[in-house]
Amino acid sequence: MPPKSATAIASGISHGEQQRGELGPRMKGSDILVQALEREGVEHIFAYPGGASMEFHQSLTRSKIRTILPRHEQGGSFQAEGYARACGKAGVCMATSGPGATNLITGIADAYMDSIPLVAITGQVPQAMIGKGAFQETDFFGLTLPIVKHSYLVTDINDIPQIVKNAFHIATSGRPGPVIIDIPKNIQQDYTQPVWPKEPNIRGYSTDKRADELVLNEIIGLIEKAERPVLYCGGGIISSGAAEELRKFAHATGIPVTTTIMGCGAFPETDPLSLKWLGMHGSAYANWAVNGDPKNNAPGADLLLAFGVRFDDRVTGKVDKFCEQGTIVHIDIDASEINKNKPAHLPVIADVKDALRRLNDMVKSRPIAKKFTAWHKQIAEWKAKAPLRYRINEEVLKSQHMKDFMGGDSSQVILPQYAIELLYELTNGEAIITTGVGQHQMWAGQYYQYKFPRQFLTSAGLGAMGYGYPAAMGAKVACPDKQVIDIDGDGSFLMNVQELATAHIEKIAAKALILNNQHLGMVVQWEDRFYAGNRGHTYLGDPENMKQIYPDYITMAKAFNVPAERVMFKKDLRDAMKRMLDSDQPYVLDVITPYTEHVLPFIPAGKTIREMIYQE
Ligand SMILES: Cc1ncc(C[n+]2csc(CCOP(=O)(O)OP(=O)(O)O)c2C)c(N)n1
Ligand SMILES: [Mg+2]
């Protein structure tokens, strides 16, 4: 076989392999790219132009694809992610070379960590200038290598159609993830007759992973032997579309379900079998159910069915102590997750939807005899002992917030948890919720009850502040008939506040509910717990005028022509929230909350269930 040319290696396509397809008329490279996107069913693209990508924008003006202009490429990447998470299709973002491309990196890393199908397209300097330190040149292929599922640097105009087809297939199939396509400007400007391929063509890439029948039988056998089984389910359930199969399986077997944060909505949290989510800030009862309550000699799960999860450290804490007494069955489509963080007794590399469907067939024809009555009783006791709850405590009463804003009237304090519960009530639990990163994110997970998949969109693995509002915009574009609300922190919201301009101009009615504690609350919480409350640059207000809320999001929103309102007192919250929900425009509701609250339960990083702190 002749050696592959460097060109063919970089693009991943060799011409001999390019399958025959439909031959099109002579076209410009940029038009070929845009038509290739159309052929993939792309309807929306979040794209910010520049010298190396303006050819694409010229082509987009002639396309039926709707181009949404973010005001920062990071906003565009999060919008594409929010879009993808809300509807399951690949989200598409685009930027120019150099700084445009580097501004996409956080979104790409986020999509990688949370397995989100994202196609990121970047312009590159002309091929003849690559490696010369050209104006706005960065090696985007190299920069993103560790955070992509796959990447293409296009080196031949004739490769564009096949690369785009492959990119969408890779992004959306198996374990989804981000794919980048970097295209030098001379290729965008060149002409050829495209050959439109019918199928993706990727050597060695297969997503057809099915569990062995024997292994599935073994799982049934383990359930029959177990006394205290728990289903621990993650984002894999959502991305594989297995939520309905999971619901059937849990109901048929009577096994309680805890999810990861990525899995919120994979199983209705209103279902009596739901334990909500587990881990560092998960419910105490989910953590006890998996790990036991050693202080009271109560054992945890003896069988852990880990489906579409990755044993993230925010879930496990000290990993060798995680579910110490349990037999672990781990189903994942990505072989690299198996035995990565936690060895499984029964590892299964499989599409979890297919596995659950077949497990359901098995329990239908041969029902599980056990009812796990004692286990359900124990879990009910745990739920009663430590429900998710909050109260106005001493710290709030003593706080500067009380003095500066409440005039001493504690009945008017808005606790962040309460604001989220109220939002849940007023939206009938039907809204799509996005978040920033911090305390508000954890409370949004705890105090809103998620009932359906793709309802809770949060930067879980990367934990990227600034995610919430652009993600909400992307979700709103994908699901225009849904109420989409970003429950945000004041710090996080500020990180992509410029996207209010996009929301207004593009008429994307995503709402932001800012839980404004004037602090980087989550860092404050760690300062309180581990650094004797010493503040290390975690105050966001104006130290010279602490009685003023700073910055003034209302004035800021007005500058973008986005309606906004501030609420300080509890008595005003319900009506203000209704006004936000009734609005058909983007909207900012700035809710002032005390900074003294801590997110509970809390298992400090690397610790075990013994160290769990919870609201008694
Ligand atoms: C881009 C980025 N920078 C820094 C952090 C570290 N960090 C995690 S939570 C947090 C505080 C967030 O503050 P805010 O958005 O106001 O939320 P709160 O905790 O107050 O609810 C910070 C700084 C991060 N997660 N992401
Ligand atoms: Mg804050």
pLDDT at 155: 98
Coil/strand/helix, residue 23: strand
Residue 235 pLDDT exceeds 90: yes
pLDDT tens string 489-544:
999 999 999 999 999 999 999 999 999 999 999 999 999 999 999 999 999 999 99
Coil/strand/helix, residue 567: strand
Q: What DSSP line would sit under 121-160, residue for residue?
A: EEEE--GGGTTTT-TT---HHHHHGGG-SEEEE---GGGH
Task: Specify the long-range contacts of residues 19-22, CB closer than 8 Å, at least 24 apart.
Answer: 19/162, 19/197, 19/198, 19/199, 19/201, 20/195, 21/161, 21/195, 21/196, 21/197, 21/198, 22/195, 22/196, 22/198
pLDDT tens string 410-467:
999 999 999 999 999 999 999 999 999 999 999 999 999 999 999 999 999 999 999 9
Beta-bridge partner residues of 66:
44
Per-residue tokens: 77: 């990447």
The chain-wide mean pLDDT, for the chain, equals 96
Give mean pLDDT, residues 14-27. 75
pLDDT at 20: 73
The CB-side HSE value for 239 (13 A sphere, CA atoms) comes to 28
pLDDT tens string 151-193:
999 999 999 999 999 999 999 999 999 999 999 999 999 999 9
Task: Say if CB 246 and CB 267 are below 8 A apart.
Answer: yes
**Which atom of ligand 1 is found nearest the CA of 440?**
21
Stated as kind and residue range, the H or E segment containing 365 is helix 352-365
Residue with the smallest CA separation from ligand 1 atom 4 is: 465
Give mean pLDDT, residues 474-501. 99
Strands 456-457 and 484-489: unpaired
| Selection from 58, 86, 156, 164 nearest residue 121 by Cα | 164
pLDDT at 252: 98
Residue 4 pLDDT exceeds 70: no
The CB-side HSE value for 218 (13 A sphere, CA atoms) comes to 14
Stated as kind and residue range, the H or E segment containing 88 is none
Residue 10 pLDDT exceeds 90: no
**Which atom of ligand 1 is found nearest the CA of 464?**
26
Task: Say if CB 80 and CB 467 are below 8 A apart.
Answer: no
Beta-bridge partner residues of 520:
none
Beta-bridge partner residues of 512:
486, 588
Q: Is the C-beta atom of 490 inside 6 A of ligand 1?
A: yes
The Cα–Cα gap between 257 and 245 comes to: 13
Tell me, in angstroms, the distance from the centre of ligand 2 to residue 543's CA: 15
Q: Which of 417, 434, 465 to mutate to test the pocket of ligand 1 (most atoms within 8 A of CB)?
A: 465
> Phi and psi dihedrals of 592, rounded to 5?
-85, 125
Name, in order, each residue with C-beta under 8 angstroms of 477's C-beta and a sequence gap of 6 or more. Answer: 44, 68, 79, 83, 508
Task: Say if CB 124 and CB 183 are below 8 A apart.
Answer: yes
Q: Is the C-beta atom of 524 inside 6 A of ligand 1?
A: no
Q: Which ligand is nearest to the CA of 440?
A: 1
Name, in order, each residue with C-beta under 8 angstroms of 561's C-beta and a sequence gap of 6 or more. Answer: 504
Tokens 């008595």 correspond to 571
Q: Is the C-beta atom of 439 inside 6 A of ligand 1?
A: yes
Residue with the smallest CA separation from ligand 1 atom 11 is: 520
Q: Where are the beta strands (DSSP E) in 50-192?
A: 66-68, 91-95, 118-124, 150-153, 178-184, 191-192
Give mean pLDDT, residues 478-491. 98
| Selection from 202, 166, 194 nearest residue 181 by Cα | 166
Tell me, in angstroms, the distance from the centre of ligand 1 to residue 261's CA: 17
Q: Is the C-beta atom of 492 inside 6 A of ligand 1?
A: yes
If you count DSSP H runs as helices and E runs as strands, how many of each does the chain have, helices first?
26, 22
Task: Say if CB 586 and CB 509 are below 8 A apart.
Answer: yes
Overall size of the chain counted in residues: 616
Per-residue tokens: 337: 């997750």
Give mean pLDDT, residues 558-571. 98
pLDDT at 12: 52
Q: Is the C-beta atom of 11 inside 6 A of ligand 1?
A: no
Q: Which of 420, 439, 520 to mutate to test the pocket of ligand 1 (most atoms within 8 A of CB)?
A: 520
Question: Per-residue confidence at 15, pLDDT binned at 50, 70, 90?
Answer: low
Alpha helices (H) in 204-283, listed in sequence order: 213-225, 235-239, 243-253
Tell me, in angstroms, the distance from the centre of ligand 1 to residue 440's CA: 9
Tell me, in angstroms, the distance from the centre of ligand 1 to residue 522's CA: 6
Beta-bridge partner residues of 67:
45
For the chain, percent of residues with pLDDT exceeding 90: 96
pLDDT at 482: 98
Coil/strand/helix, residue 36: helix
Overall pTM > 0.85: yes
Tokens 């060798």 correspond to 320
**Which atom of ligand 1 is found nearest the CA of 488?**
15
Per-residue tokens: 249: 């399986």
pLDDT at 408: 87
| Selection from 36, 53, 376, 343 nearest residue 183 by Cα | 53
The Cα–Cα gap between 247 and 424 comes to: 22
Give mean pLDDT, residues 121-146. 98
pLDDT tens string 308-362:
999 999 999 999 999 999 999 999 999 999 999 999 999 999 999 999 999 999 9
- The residues carrying an active-site annotation are 73, 135-136, 185, 522
pLDDT tens string 263-276:
999 999 999 999 99
Torsion of CA 377, 382, 384, 386, to 10 degrees: -170
The Cα–Cα gap between 383 and 273 comes to: 11
Q: Is the C-beta atom of 521 inside 6 A of ligand 1?
A: yes
Question: Per-residue confidence at 14, pLDDT binned at 50, 70, 90?
Answer: low
Per-residue tokens: 83: 């879009």
pLDDT at 17: 47
Output the CA torsion sign for 108, 112, 115, 119: positive
Tell me, in angstroms, the distance from the centre of ligand 2 to residue 517's CA: 5
Q: Is the C-beta atom of 281 inside 6 A of ligand 1?
A: no
Q: Is the C-beta atom of 613 inside 6 A of ligand 1?
A: no
Burial 131-147 (b: 16+ CB within 10 A, else e): eeebebbbebbebbeeb
Residue with the smallest CA separation from ligand 1 atom 8 is: 438
468-478 helix and 73-87 helix, angle to the nearest 10 degrees: 50
Give mean pLDDT, residues 573-599. 98
Residue 19 pLDDT exceeds 70: no
Q: Is the C-beta atom of 520 inside 6 A of ligand 1?
A: yes
Residue 11 pLDDT exceeds 80: no
Question: Per-residue confidence at 13, pLDDT binned at 50, 70, 90?
Answer: low
pLDDT tens string 408-420:
899 999 999 999 9
Residue with the smallest CA separation from ligand 1 atom 13 is: 520
Give mean pLDDT, residues 574-595. 98
Tell me, in angstroms, the distance from the centre of ligand 2 to residue 490's CA: 5
Q: Which of 522, 537, 596, 602 to mutate to test the pocket of ligand 1 (most atoms within 8 A of CB)?
A: 522
Q: Which of 110, 439, 440, 492 to mutate to test the pocket of ligand 1 (most atoms within 8 A of CB)?
A: 492
Strands 22-23 and 195-196: antiparallel
Task: Say if CB 171 and CB 200 are below 8 A apart.
Answer: no
